Amino acid sequence: MSPYATGRRRVHRSLAVGVPLAVVAAALVAAGPASGSTTTAPYVTRTATLGDIPLGTFSNALLPGTVADDRGVDLGGIGSDIYPAGRKGEFWTVTDRGPNGQIKVDGTKRRTFPVPGFDPAIVKIRVSGDTVKVLDAIPITTSSGKPVTGLPNQKGRDEAPYSYDARTPLTYNANGLDTEGVVRAGDGSFWLIDEYGPSLVHVSARGKVLARYVPEGLNLTGSDYPVVEALPSVLLHRKINRGFEGLAQLPGGDLVMAVQSPLSLPDGDVGDASRTTRLLRFSPKKEAVTAEYAYRFDPVNVVDPSEDDTSELKISSVVAVGRDRLLVEERTDKAARLQIVHLGRKANILGGPWDDDTTSPSLEQLDDPAASGVPVLAKRLVVDLGTVDGVPGKIEGVARVDRDTLALINDNDFGMTDGTGAFDANGRLVDSGVETTVTYVRLPRGI
């Protein structure tokens, strides 16, 4: 029996006639459009939810003694990405850095880590009926087998870490990773991306970090694994908590990483107002970036009609759908749109003026990059998920199930919320009620 099978499950209320609401919802979702319908709209065909597994139980089964007190937090956050595992209904997912939030103290927001001993993990799941089951989990460890943890790396560059109540400072950790994307290579090893560096991380089949590729000039010292400065130095201008977020593996083995938001170049105000971010192509064989592309977001009120803040635009997932074709997810926390782009050679901006942080105006400052001669990636809308009933918010992972079907997974933030109300007087989590859900969406025209 899986060590995760003993987790608690929430009980759904039933209708007066005695039929559980979950059963009725599942039946309606599975039915899709009515018989004889000529609709060409995408629709949800299945939803499945992860049951409650205490975070301490999960973590200590992988690395005994790492979590002394999970503060009532359940396993969550595995929705940072989703990647097909080979068998029907099975996927690899990855957690992020663990439960974290923000509390304002004397007018300044502090980043909290309620379970600082949590170690990011690669989690294998199976979608079975309306349930997401954990089949296996692989902790991410250093060269000596210690947990990398999810704690920030560098004072002055990353947010300072604090305890759950924002009162006690925690120690930085050069090994810490805020993992987001995951793909599995042909040899069984994994590639991950991280927001702190930002970095690309190669780990063994059992989770040991083999190498962490970071921007030139990061000067990360004190880590217990190899660190290689192989990425463009311009990435040092990544916005805090907006490093690499999407990762795809092309058929030939190359990797594509997406910077979640525009760089803060030359400053944060520019980054917040910009709609131009970057994709990078990396060759594992050469251990080098071989191409860079400019990606232009749609206006924020097009992506999400309820939002007017451009800084809320993010890329959270990229998926290979051909030799040089990529499915890109543009989103806010409430809505998302999936676009197809072609990574043509003529669109490569690597090594040009836009990688020089003294170039003025910067790529991020250009109101119309194409008019300034920048080869911005052309894109085609595949689906507006914000218009599809049954799709939850904060979709961070997208996987291609078949030509016509996508699997989506949301990040439930471990049930965390921001502010002083995140925990009760006894220091136990006040759960947000948001669950980790895998949602299948059928596309009328396929990809």
- Per residue of the chain (447 residues), what is the pLDDT tens digit? 444 544 433 333 333 333 343 443 444 444 455 444 445 899 999 999 999 999 999 999 999 999 999 999 999 999 999 999 999 999 999 999 999 999 999 999 999 999 999 999 999 999 999 999 999 999 999 999 999 999 999 999 999 999 999 999 999 999 999 999 999 999 999 999 999 999 999 999 999 999 999 999 999 999 999 999 999 999 999 999 999 999 999 999 999 999 999 999 999 999 999 999 999 999 999 999 999 999 999 999 999 999 999 999 999 999 999 889 999 999 999 999 999 999 999 999 999 999 999 999 999 999 999 999 999 999 999 999 999 999 999 999 999 999 999 999 999 999 999 999 999 999 999 999 999 999 999 999 888
SS3 for 312?
Answer: helix
Whether the model clears a pTM of 0.95, i.e. scores above it, the answer is no
What is the identity of the amino acid at 235? L
**How would you class 253 by CB atoms within 10 Å of its CB: exposed for 0-12, middle for 13-18, buried for 19 or more?**
exposed
Question: Can you tell me the distance from the alpha carbon of 260 to that of 197, in angstroms, rounded to the nearest whole number?
Answer: 13
Number of neighbouring beta carbons within 10 Å of residue 86: 8
Got the DSSP string for 356-410?
-TT-SS-GGG-SSGGGGT--PPPEEEEEEGGGSTTPPS-EEEEEEEETTEEEEEE
> Contact 24/15 with Cβ under 8 angstroms?
yes
176-206 burial by CB neighbour count: b if 16+ within 10 A, else e? bbbbbbbbbeeeebbbbbbbbbbbbbbbeee
Q: Which helix (H) or strand (E) holds 101?
A: strand 101-105
pLDDT of residue 20: 42
Number of neighbouring beta carbons within 10 Å of residue 168: 10
Which is it for strands 108-112 and 161-162: parallel, antiparallel or unpaired? parallel
Number of neighbouring beta carbons within 10 Å of residue 9: 11
Q: What's the farthest any 2 CA atoms get from each other in the chain?
A: 69
Got the DSSP string for 220-288?
--S-SS-EEEEE-GGGGGPBTTBSEEEEEE-TTS-EEEEESS---SS-HHHHHH--EEEEEEEETTTTE
Closest Cα to residue 120, out of 55, 44, 24? 55
> Contact 102/109 with Cβ under 8 angstroms?
yes
- Provide CATH code, domain 40-442: 2.130.10
Half-sphere exposure of 267 (CA within 13 A, CB side): 1
Q: For residue 120, report the phi and psi dihedrals to the nearest 5 degrees.
A: -55, 150
Given 3-state DSSP classes, what are the helix, strand and coil percentages for the chain, each rounded to the nearest 5?
Answer: 15, 35, 50
pLDDT of residue 147: 98
Q: Which helix (H) or strand (E) holds 41?
A: none
Closest Cα to residue 260, out of 308, 330, 365, 197? 330
